[in-house]
A and B are shown apart, each in its own frame.
Chain A
Amino acid sequence: MNKLAWILAAFFGSVFLGATLLNAGLIGESRNALAAAGISGSERAPHARLHLLVIVPDSEDSYFSHLLEGIAAAAPEAGAAVQIERYPGSSPEEAERWFDIGVRSPVDGIVMYASRGDDVAGHASLAEAAGVVFVAVGKEAPWGVLPCFIGSAPLFHGFEGGRIITGLLAQRARIGVILPAGGSGSPEEDSLYKGVAAAVATYRGARIVDAVRALPDIFSGEAIAMALLEENPGINAIFCATSRDTLGAAQAVLDRGLAGKVAIIGADETPELVRHLEGGVVTASIVRDSRRIGVEAVRAFVSIHEGYPPPGVLELDFTVRSGSPAE
């Protein structure tokens, strides 16, 4: 009786203690979650040295997700707390509003996505006036004098795409080009187009049949590819400048039963795109190292903040991912 009573008491005591601790843990977890949800934020959030505002389009393109990954990875080392603001691709004025917030509040630095026609120099000038470091990132360096732009080289990107296509199809190549949304000017003025054209020019008979600029919406790539294939039945290769447009083109090719008959040269790398590469729907993908662009953007921000001169335009290299080694 005596021993059993103590064993039972110890057991129930342990249950009591365990349940109390578990309960306290659950309540603490709920409190933290609720506290973090409010505007007061998490009390346990670590302090940082610099406030970096990142303004990018709200896009499905893996280019941006990898870009943000790179920024997030480099931020702790730089002692930066990153605030990411996404704006709809169709609403560039919102990007401007966030830029203005960053300048007026002010933050320590702004990393902003810039398209070819954007007034990056003007942004840089305003930011500098407010004592805010400004770093532009993008796929193609905008015109004008740029104190700090980090991106890929679209001319080489396009040239590599054209080279792959002509390598496959030679003079038979009939190419449809889907240029990225957001650009300005005629397609022929786009660096990507120019790169493809330069590569195609080396094969007599090979040619670009049509070039269309994509729209910001998610189905734009598929719609454009479908239109290209309908209007130009002779097209046997499609060059896409973004992962989103590549997936759209792949879907259009599959829908029309042209998989394997129409070569798709895509851009960047997402799990779905890789699946299409492995399935042979997409012939190859030119992967821009947007993650590295993000890392370099943070490094440039810190460097400028510490008083070093801006690096100017920094265009990073790309890699080609193909569906089969033979290609």
Chain B
Amino acid sequence: MRRRGSLRGKMLAITVFLLAVVGTATLYTGFATAQLAGSLGLLFQRNQLIEDIRTALAGSAIALGGYLSSRSEANLAAFRQNSGILRERARILNRSVRVDEALLLQRELAGLVDRFLSDADAAVEAKSRRYMETSSERYESALRTAELVRTIIERIERRNLSASIDAYTGLDARIGAIVATNAALVVAAILMAFTVFVRFTWAITVPLSTLADSARAIARGDYDRELPSLEAAEEIATTAAAFENMRRSVRAAFEELKSKAEIERRLIEEELQLVDMDRKLKDAELLALQAQINPHFLYNTLSAGMQLALAEGADRTADFIEKLGGFIRYALRSPSRSVSVADEIGCLERYVWLLRLRFGERFTFSIEADPAVLGMETPALVLQPLVENAVTHGLHTRESGGSVRISARREGAAALLEVSDTGVGMDAKTVSGLLEEGGAVERQVSEGGIGLRNVIRRVTLATAGRGSVRLVSRPGEGTTVTVVLPSGEEET
């Protein structure tokens, strides 16, 4: 934002400039018109002077003649008056030698008037002294000079008339150009003033318009629209800067509100998730409770079957029924309970015995348990679903040679329960899909297994989020699922 003078100063400057330009044009046009009018007056400026000289000369000559013939005082007074006027008027005439015909004629006229007055005065003087002959001579000379004055005046007037006609013709020829240039200068002054006015108006209104656009944008809720850089008058620049600060403040406040809303939304979502988990857990518990009714019957029936097999000497069948009954009794108890790793391994051994019976030599199973972890607690039934997944999804395409390795070991304070298979493995996308909520997990459930997600959820619930499940798999190289259980000491 560049500040360029005050708005008031700018508007004042524009007004002064416009007034100056238009005023100059108007004044000049008026001045030019006055000059032209004055020029026309010059044509006739000194005609009055010539007329005065002619009249005074005639009056002097008549009065002189009258006085010389009658010695009338009235004529003498008239002569004095006229000769005074003549002398006064003649004083105005040019007397210097100039290279100009009109001025030379004036000079001659002045000389002749002087000569007339000299002769006339001498005639009067001679008359008063009664020198009649001298008086008569000077009177005749004065009359001759008066005649010559008239000749020269006629000559001057002829010249004036001719020159005036020429000058007026010239003026008439130029008047069109004078009017045209007058019009041109007025139009040019107006256009110049208009251009400068538009330029300054633009300079003032463009920042205001930009500011208005930004205000409209904010009114629409668009707080991200920044005010463009403006070159504006001080007042507008100040307003724009304040506006921009306001926009930024409002935007920051909105951002903060938005952030808080997001956090709240997440909290609510998490809460809902917990509620949903709790609900699911309760459903599972209900299902389990419901299932506990029949399992007792099933277990008692299987015990009766085992007694029957022993009675008939079918030891292998009796073992099968015993292992199946033991696994069912373990599996049908509450899945949310905690058991020792040893119990979980024992259950898994029974399950593996049953699988070996089912698959014979097709797959190999191995179980390794570090005694250090056997006493540690684990959610019940976390390994069985993993082994079932390994067989069902990892090794199902193999006709033979597949293996499943189950291990329980300690790593630091945590117990690591691990199920590895040499099955088909999975790509990264499938792995991430399995670890995500829904999707593949639901698919696993629908396929009859408890599923990986179930294991993850139970481990998370049982360890209050401190435990975790890791899944490492590569296509064609098998899958390893590791359940990380924190130690009870750590929990406390």
CA distance A8 to B43 in the complex (A): 42
Establish whether residues A26 and B102, one from each chain, have CB atoms under 8 Å apart when the complex forms: no
Residues A41 and B100 in contact, CB atoms below 8 Å apart: yes
Q: Which residues of A contact B106 (CB under 8 A)?
A: 39, 41
- Known contacts: A50-B97, A106-B111. The answer to whether A22 contacts B181 by CB under 8 A is yes
| Chain A residues whose C-beta falls within 8 Å of the C-beta of B185 in the assembled complex | 15-16, 19-20, 23
Chain B minimum-CB-distance residue to A14: B188
Please give the number of chain B residues whose Cβ is less than 8 angstroms from any Cβ of chain A in the complex.
Answer: 68
A17 to chain B, nearest CB (A): 8
Contact with A along B160-200 (1 / 0, CB 8 A): 10011011101100100110011011001101100110110
* The one of B101, B152, B199 that contacts A101, using a Cβ cutoff of 8 Å: B152
A1, A34, A36, A50 pick with most chain B CB within 10 angstroms: A34
A16-B185, A19-B181, A83-B101 given; A38·B160 CB < 8 A: yes
Whether, in the assembled complex, A2 has its beta carbon less than 8 Å from a beta carbon of chain B, the answer is yes
Q: Please provide the chain B residues from 29 to 55 with a CB less than 8 Å away from any CB of chain A in the complex.
A: 32, 35-36, 38-40, 42-47, 49-50
Residues in chain A near residue B178, CB distance under 8 A:
23, 26-27, 30
Are B98 and A81 closer than 8 Å at their CB atoms?
yes
Instruction: Looking at the assembled complex, report how far the CB atom of A61 sits from the nearest CB atom of chain B, in whole angstroms.
Output: 22
Cβ distance A76 to chain B, nearest Cβ, rounded Å:
8
Partner of A34, one of B25, B39, B100, B196: B39
Chain A residues with CB below 8 A from B103, complex form: 41-42, 45
Once A5-B198, A47-B96, A101-B108 are accepted as A-B contacts, the answer to whether A33 and B50 lie under 8 Å apart by CB is no
| Cβ of A19 to closest chain B Cβ, rounded Å | 4
B115 CB-CB contact with A under 8 Å: yes
Give the residues in chain A near B43, CB-CB below 8 Å.
Answer: 34, 37-38
Asked if A145 is an interface residue, CB under 8 A from chain B, the answer is: no
Provide the bound-state CA to CA distance between A206 and B377, in Å: 175
Residue from the set A42, A83, A97 with the largest chain B CB neighbour count within 10 Å: A83
Task: Verify A30–B98 contact, CB threshold 8 A.
Answer: no
Name the residue in A19, A39, A85, A107 with the highest tally of chain B Cβ atoms < 10 Å from its Cβ. A39
Q: Which of A5, A81, A97 is in CB contact (< 8 Å) with B104?
A: A81
Whether A104 touches B115, Cβ cut-off 8 Å, given contacts A31-B42, A45-B98, A81-B100, is yes
Nearest chain-B residue to A25 (Cβ)? B181
- Are A30 and B39 within 8 A (Cβ)? yes
Which A-chain residue is minimally distant from B182 (CB atoms)? Answer: A23
Q: Do B97 and A48 touch across chains, with their CB atoms under 8 A apart? A: yes
Q: Which residue of B is nearest A42, CB measured? A: B100
B350 at the interface (CB under 8 A from A): no
Q: B-side binding surface: helix, strand, loop or mixed?
A: helix
Q: Give the chain B neighbours of A23 by CB distance below 8 A.
A: 28, 32, 178, 181-182, 185
Kindly state the separation between the CA atoms of A22 and B392 in the bound complex, as whole angstroms.
109
Which of B132-140, B143-151, B337-345, B445-453 participates in binding chain A?
B143-151
Give CA–CA (A97, B147) in the complex, Å: 9
Contact, CB under 8 Å: B191 / A37: no
Complex interface: chain A residues within 8 A of B148 (CB)? 97, 100-101, 104
Hey, which chain B residues are within 8 Å of A85, CB to CB? 155
Contacts of B97 in A (CB 8 A): 47-51, 81, 108
* Nearest CB in chain B to that of A30: its residue: B171
In the complex, A308 has a CB within 8 A of chain B: no
Do A39 and B47 touch (CB < 8 A)? yes
Map CB proximity to B onto A253-296 as digits: 1 under 8 Å, 0 otherwise: 00000000000000000000000000000000000000000000
A-B contact sample (11 more), CB < 8 A, given A5-B195, A42-B102:
A12-B191, A15-B191, A23-B28, A23-B181, A27-B36, A38-B47, A38-B160, A40-B102, A83-B101, A101-B108, A101-B148
Chain A to chain B contacts (Cβ below 8 Å), 29 pairs:
A8-B192, A9-B195, A12-B191, A15-B185, A16-B21, A22-B181, A23-B28, A23-B32, A23-B182, A29-B170, A31-B39, A31-B42, A34-B42, A34-B168, A35-B39, A36-B102, A37-B168, A39-B50, A39-B156, A40-B42, A40-B46, A41-B103, A42-B100, A46-B99, A47-B99, A104-B111, A104-B145, A105-B107, A108-B97
Interface set of B (CB-CB < 8 Å, partner A): 21, 25, 28, 32, 35-36, 38-40, 42-47, 49-50, 94, 96-112, 115, 144-145, 148, 151-152, 155-156, 160, 163-164, 166-168, 170-171, 174, 177-178, 181-182, 184-185, 188-189, 191-192, 195-196, 198-199, 202-203
